[in-house]
Amino acid sequence: MTTAQTKRSEVKASSVERPFVYLVGQGSSGTKRIFNLLDLSRQTHCRMGHQRSARSPFRELGGEWVLTETDAEALERSWSDALEWAASHFSDTDLMPPPPKDHLSETARRLGLWSWVRGARSKRLLGLLIPELRSEEWLLPRLFGDRDRMKAALLVLKHNQVPGWASWALRERPRAVVLHVLRHPGGYLNAWRGRFQEHQDQDALALANRERLHSIASVSESWCDRFGEIDRMCAAEAELWFWRFAAESLEDGGAGEPRYLHVLDEEMLDQPLETAARIYEHCGLPMPEGVNHWIDRMAQPWQEASRPWRELLSDADIALVERIVGPSPTWSWWRPDQRVSLFNYVAFDPGRG
């Protein structure tokens, strides 16, 4: 894209495209905790996991990990439409029921209609009466709230493993606010093993992780040199290298940019109220009164479901983390004995809905 095209794009995006909060991280990194925090605001419309829905326009876009010129051109053509789709829809992957919102009907909540949407079978039955609910991605039924007010709410998109998209949004979308959530790499490796690796075919997982690094190396010579011999890596080694690439590349892209904020998951453990206030300020939102109550209720379970990171890993995994991430500038963000969340910690309020 030429400089002139980029400038025209910025003018168009600044004047036409909606503001949005882009909540990004690795998965198993605390993004759900921050998502739940922002979902407490009556002024937000929070979407989670929708980019994988069959009807989501985000599903058609490439370059989530690292952008090629072709990927960037496709994003430029399609991003605004994808945002508008996200702002006007719900998905079966979103959290149900949503908390009270200015754009949602309290009558529908009192009648328990959102609980019907949460279950696949009950949603199909309700869809016999409400046509909007017959799809995986669905418009807000009039009985559930005000569509125009929902589209005017602040859109919060939670996407995992999208350093390419998030860096592009910082460069090309001046109304994007990026929240980058990171968990200590040792805590992340423990969560990845517990929540993901053990449920996968190990050979296929290792191959997929190596192919992901190859796709990055084909675009970035500097990262190709740092990765070294990709085809000799096990799945965990390739996973940690991607963690480091995503953390550093997005941090580099956000350096000096006031619309970028990185948040450590461990900050929500150590200083939850102060961290919540910083997040809300970054998003330009007043912090709801309910945040204090939510944190009071959740802080103790969070602390109880945490351990010093080295206690959660084998000696071999500790050495792997220190070898791959130790030389990274990000390593200094955590204490040597940092406590981290267990992979099965309670991210959401069990009393929600």
CATH for 3-103+146-341? 3.40.50
Confidence label for 14 from pLDDT (cuts 50, 70 and 90): very low
Contact present, 182 and 265 (Cβ < 8 Å): yes
* Residue ranges covered by each domain of the chain: 3-103+146-341
Residue 94 has pLDDT above 90, yes or no: no
Residue 304 has pLDDT above 70, yes or no: yes
Cα-trace Rg, the chain: 21
User: Tell me, what's the pLDDT at 349?
Assistant: 56
At 267, list the tokens: 């900050």
Contact present, 353 and 115 (Cβ < 8 Å): yes
Residue at 208: amino acid letter? A
User: Tell me, what's the pLDDT at 11?
Assistant: 40
Confidence label for 96 from pLDDT (cuts 50, 70 and 90): confident
User: Tell me, what's the pLDDT at 254?
Assistant: 95
Pairing between strand 176-182 and 260-264?
Answer: parallel
Residue 1 has pLDDT above 70, yes or no: no
Alpha carbons 171 and 3: distance in angstroms, whole number: 13
Confidence label for 343 from pLDDT (cuts 50, 70 and 90): confident
User: Tell me, what's the pLDDT at 9?
Assistant: 45
Per-residue pLDDT tens over the stretch 193-242:
998 898 899 999 999 999 999 999 999 999 999 999 999 999 999 999 99
155: CB partners within 8 A, 6+ apart: 18, 19, 20, 21, 44, 45, 47, 83, 86, 87
User: Tell me, what's the pLDDT at 16?
Assistant: 63
Lowest-pLDDT choice from 31-35, 46-50, 79-83, 102-106: 46-50
Mean pLDDT score of the chain = 91
Entry pTM: 0.91
Residue 2 has pLDDT above 60, yes or no: no
What are residue 90's phi and psi, to 5 degrees? -115, 170
269: CB partners within 8 A, 6+ apart: 302, 303, 306, 339, 340, 341
- 264 forms beta bridges with 182
Per-residue pLDDT tens over the stretch 27-70:
889 999 999 999 999 999 999 877 777 788 998 899 999 999 99
At 334, list the tokens: 């955590």
